[in-house]
Amino acid sequence: MAYEKKENDISVFYNPPEKKTNPNSPDWTGEALIEGKVMRVAFWAKTPTMLAGKIEIKQAGHGAAQGGNPAAPAASGYAGAQATPAAQTDLEEVPF
């Protein structure tokens, strides 16, 4: 039986130093489900008793086929991407 994420769950996995391709890569990585969105999480061991981390919306191309965030913008790959002016609705054209 496959693990099914539940709301506000987080799963992280250790990345051993010998498997890192970059020395700045996180020591721990994983996913969280927050408000229905799959988030990527990363943690770095700063001291033996402290982790510092980062959380961001999981983007297309980062495992979306395996249950990632289908609502993530695929065109730009950037969660903060804004709609182009052509895609925005002119409020004077709204019929009410």
Domain presence at residue 95: no
Domain presence at residue 91: no
- Residue 39 belongs to what domain range? 1-69
Domain presence at residue 84: no
Number of Cβ within a 10 Å radius of residue 83: 9
Number of structural domains in the chain: 1
Q: pLDDT at position 2, please?
A: 76
Domain presence at residue 74: no
Provide the β-strand partners of residue 53: 43
Q: pLDDT at position 38, please?
A: 93
Q: pLDDT at position 77, please?
A: 40
Burial of 51 (0-12, 13-18, 19+ CB in 10 A): middle
Q: pLDDT at position 1, please?
A: 67
Which residue positions in the chain have pLDDT lower than 70?
1, 61-96
Q: Which of 42, 37, 43, 29 is nearest to 8 (CA)?
A: 37
Structure pTM? 0.58
